[in-house]
A and B are shown apart, each in its own frame.
Chain A
Amino acid sequence: MSVTMRFGPYGGRYVPETVIGALDELTAAFERYRDEPEFLGELGELLGHYVGRPTPIYRARRLEEAWDLSSELWLKREDLCHTGAHKINNALGQVLLAQRMGKQRIIAETGAGQHGVATATASALLGLECRVYMGRTDMHRQRLNVIRMRMLGAEVMPVDSGSGTLKDATSEAIRDWVTNVEHTHYIIGSAVGPAPYPEIVAHFQSIIGIESRAQMLDEVGVLPGTVVACVGGGSNAIGIFRGFLDDPDVALVGVEAGGEGLGGLHGASLAKGSPGVLHGSFSYLLQDPDGQVAEAHSVSAGLDYPGVGPEHSHLRDLGRVTYSNATDEAALSAFLECSRREGLIPALETSHALAYVRDSAATLAGPVLVCLSGRGDKDVDQAGAALGIDASA
């Protein structure tokens, strides 16, 4: 089986010539190891005993009640993954590929810091050198994860260009890769970037959807009516959606960052963007008429990105997935409600998906399955400040 390089017209490899050879090498390695028993054995062992997979699905009865849902609400508990989010599924898969390609050095970009922590963790586990690029704005708002990465032995490189967020960190990581490509593997953290990255990331995240589908059938007895996930670059969303793409009766909803509202600053590339090229792939993008990439905004660092993965662009055009959005304010209130009603502090990213469910309750076919992509420990400073909750005596 070959590796998908384009999703409809979207995707491709719009990168400097210098890294084309490395992309070819990565494509070949992925093709060779994807289904190889030894690779699968090693990855499966780690996912089972190190990450804690399969993650359960959990019925959120107190949110059903609070939000007056007419159907059941199930949460796929990626927040229970080691390191606290789905990002580890991809980081481990890619670090095992890097090892097989003989790369000694790992680099990554990170927004919320979850991908950075996952990559630092996987690198520590395999004894590889690790450097993570992170926008300075994000280093402030996701401080806890900066400390975790440093404790794990990774070097965190602040990025000051642009607005000091995920887009800028990704550009810097790509420049590092262009410079050190001979001995470095770049572990991109979402289903974005030049081919074959969107396919590789989606593949390693598709475990979320594979498990969820089987769990719904086993434990609930039916497929979900609606599957909801937040979309930054789109890795947790594509991971869970892939389990249900061939089930035409399952509605799929991706929730982008509505920021201040779509009239102001936001991160809703699929709602408000147009196709263009950023970070190596052709996909929906927030840009001005001359193609200059716009700055995104979201309260959540992980959704604060002007682009989106190419497979989502294709699914949008096909109409197979509906893309909606939730504002900062809606996400913050959902964050608090989920914490207080369920005892689950969700990541601010994930809170966007929850806010969508709350605010669209009446129209959703049930049961509703939400990808609880990560836990919110990293967000307590920022959400606390916004919600007026602190640690004063």
Chain B
Amino acid sequence: MSIRLAPRWALTPVPESGAERLARTFRDADRPLFVPYVMGGYPDLESSARHAAILAEHADIIELGIPFSDPLADGPTIQAAGQVALDAGVRPWDVLAIAEGLKGGPPVVVMTYFNTVIAHGASDFLGRAADAGVAGIIIPDLPVDEAGDIRTAARASGVALIALAAPTTDDARMQEIGEQSEGFVYLVAVTGVTGGEMTMDDRLRSLVDRARRHIPVPVVVGFGVRTPEQAREIGDIADGVVIASEIIRRIGDAPDPAAADAMVEQFGAGISAALRA
């Protein structure tokens, strides 16, 4: 009797890449995605892991910050949170362990600065991120024209290299960013660093419109989004919304860990509801 073997590719399908996973996430949702940010190690490692797990119940993608000593794109809130983590000795691998704990939930993208990625070698770093289940990486000090080698390493490890666009990015560059970016493009809503406050005005509307016209992948808007109303306004015109500093600020203001957990739960549920409305 003959046994018919299934072809090998059918038994072990090529694992889905981070970019594919992110693409599927956008495709499957018929509404704007909620992308909350958690700084790994703030206020401490366990709390940040817990906050990420709580947010995972409401979020479509989790953005996990790996602290860096000199975060040029961040305002005082995220700077200070990262410093708390670094002062406690938090290392990149500790944050990747948080990502690992979120496997099975929404895709995780890590956000960190270029020097963190290259310190141990980009392939090594990205390989470890991929092993932890990380779907994508955002490097705010790595503009597309400097990304060559890293893009190759990211492709090889299956981690999507997510590029940023800004209000000062012209049309031709938007196009280039759109072509290079994997998973989505992170559109910075304000000319500035994180932690400010956006206002929904004609300028922002035309920015998002311009980005969507030139960028073929989904456009997620962040920097300065603080309230459910603002999230909904962004959700009306973009594919997703990142909320970062506001969550950190609220965690910092909470009187104790239980209150912080409750606040994260309530805030996450509120934004998620606003984006489903």
The closest CB in chain B to the CB of A174 belongs to B72
The closest CB in chain A to the CB of B75 belongs to A175
Q: Is A279 an interface residue, CB under 8 A from the partner? A: yes
Q: Is A15 an interface residue, CB under 8 A from the partner? A: yes
User: Which of A15, A161, A279, A292 gathers most chain B CB within 10 Å?
Assistant: A292
Query: B141 — which chain A residues lie within 8 A by C-beta?
Result: 14-16, 277, 280
Q: Is B152 an interface residue, CB under 8 A from the partner? A: no
CB-CB contacts below 8 Å: B124-157 with A: 140-143, 145-146
Rounded to whole angstroms, the CA-CA distance of A22 and B168 in the bound complex is 9
Contact of A175 among B72, B164, B177 (CB under 8 A): B72
Q: Mark B73-100, 1 if CB is under 8 A from A, else 0.
A: 1110001000100100001100000000
| B70 lies within 8 A of A279 (CB) | yes
Query: B74 — which chain A residues lie within 8 A by C-beta?
Result: 175
Q: Mark B104-139, 1 if CB is under 8 A from A, else 0.
A: 000000000111111110000000000000000000
The smallest C-beta distance from B149 to any residue of chain A, in angstroms, reads 11
Q: Is B69 an interface residue, CB under 8 A from the partner? A: yes
Q: Is B170 an interface residue, CB under 8 A from the partner? A: yes
The smallest C-beta distance from B30 to any residue of chain A, in angstroms, reads 29
Q: Is B165 an interface residue, CB under 8 A from the partner? A: yes
Rounded to whole angstroms, the CA-CA distance of A20 and B166 in the bound complex is 10
Contact of A277 among B92, B115, B120 (CB under 8 A): B115
Rounded to whole angstroms, the CA-CA distance of A271 and B191 in the bound complex is 38
The closest CB in chain B to the CB of A307 belongs to B70
Query: A171 — which chain B residues lie within 8 A by C-beta?
Result: 70, 72
Query: B168 — which chain A residues lie within 8 A by C-beta?
Result: 17-22, 181-182
The smallest C-beta distance from B40 to any residue of chain A, in angstroms, reads 13
Query: B192 — which chain A residues lie within 8 A by C-beta?
Result: 18, 178-179
| A17 lies within 8 A of B119 (CB) | no
Which secondary structure dominates chain B's binding surface?
loop
Number of A residues, CB within 8 Å of B: 34
Contact of B191 among A14, A18, A290 (CB under 8 A): A18
| B116 lies within 8 A of A290 (CB) | yes
Q: Is B34 an interface residue, CB under 8 A from the partner? A: no
The closest CB in chain A to the CB of B112 belongs to A291
Contact of A14 among B119, B146, B170, B193 (CB under 8 A): B146
Q: Is A287 an interface residue, CB under 8 A from the partner? A: yes
| B114 lies within 8 A of A277 (CB) | yes
Q: Is A134 an interface residue, CB under 8 A from the partner? A: no
Rounded to whole angstroms, the CA-CA distance of A280 and B142 in the bound complex is 9
| B116 lies within 8 A of A17 (CB) | no
User: Which size class do B's interface residues fall under?
Assistant: 35 or more
Q: Is A289 an interface residue, CB under 8 A from the partner? A: yes
Query: A276 — which chain B residues lie within 8 A by C-beta?
Result: 115, 118-119
Query: A291 — which chain B residues lie within 8 A by C-beta?
Result: 68, 115-120
The closest CB in chain B to the CB of A289 belongs to B119
Q: Is A84 an interface residue, CB under 8 A from the partner? A: no
Q: Mark A169-189, 1 if CB is under 8 A from B, else 0.
A: 001001100111110000000
Query: A20 — which chain B residues lie within 8 A by C-beta?
Result: 143, 145, 166, 168-169, 173
| A15 lies within 8 A of B191 (CB) | no
Known: A178-B192, A278-B70. A16 touches B166 (CB 8 A): yes
Which secondary structure dominates chain A's binding surface?
mixed
Contact of B119 among A18, A175, A287 (CB under 8 A): A287
Q: Mark A263-300, 1 if CB is under 8 A from B, else 0.
A: 00000000000001111100001010111110000000
Q: Is A13 an interface residue, CB under 8 A from the partner? A: yes
Q: Is B167 an interface residue, CB under 8 A from the partner? A: yes
The smallest C-beta distance from B163 to any residue of chain A, in angstroms, reads 8
Q: Is B215 an interface residue, CB under 8 A from the partner? A: no
Query: A292 — which chain B residues lie within 8 A by C-beta?
Result: 68-69, 86, 116
The closest CB in chain B to the CB of A291 belongs to B119
Rounded to whole angstroms, the CA-CA distance of A276 and B173 in the bound complex is 26
Rounded to whole angstroms, the CA-CA distance of A179 and B188 in the bound complex is 12
| A17 lies within 8 A of B193 (CB) | no
Known: A171-B70, A181-B191, A276-B115. A21 touches B169 (CB 8 A): yes
Interface residues of A (CB under 8 A from B): 12-22, 161-162, 167, 171, 174-175, 178-182, 276-280, 285, 287, 289-293
Can you list 30 A-B pairs with a CB-CB distance of less than 8 A?
Answer: A14-B141, A14-B143, A14-B146, A15-B143, A16-B73, A16-B166, A17-B163, A18-B168, A18-B188, A20-B166, A20-B169, A21-B170, A167-B70, A171-B70, A171-B72, A175-B72, A179-B192, A180-B191, A182-B168, A276-B118, A277-B113, A277-B114, A280-B72, A280-B141, A287-B115, A291-B68, A291-B120, A292-B69, A292-B116, A293-B69
Interface residues of B (CB under 8 A from A): 68-70, 72-75, 79, 83, 86, 91-92, 113-120, 140-143, 145-146, 163-170, 173, 177, 188, 191-193, 196
Contacts A16-B141, A18-B166 supplied; 4 other A-B pairs, CB < 8 Å: A16-B72, A20-B145, A175-B74, A292-B69
| Nearest 8 interchain pairs by C-beta | A291-B119, A179-B192, A291-B115, A18-B166, A292-B69, A17-B166, A16-B73, A277-B115
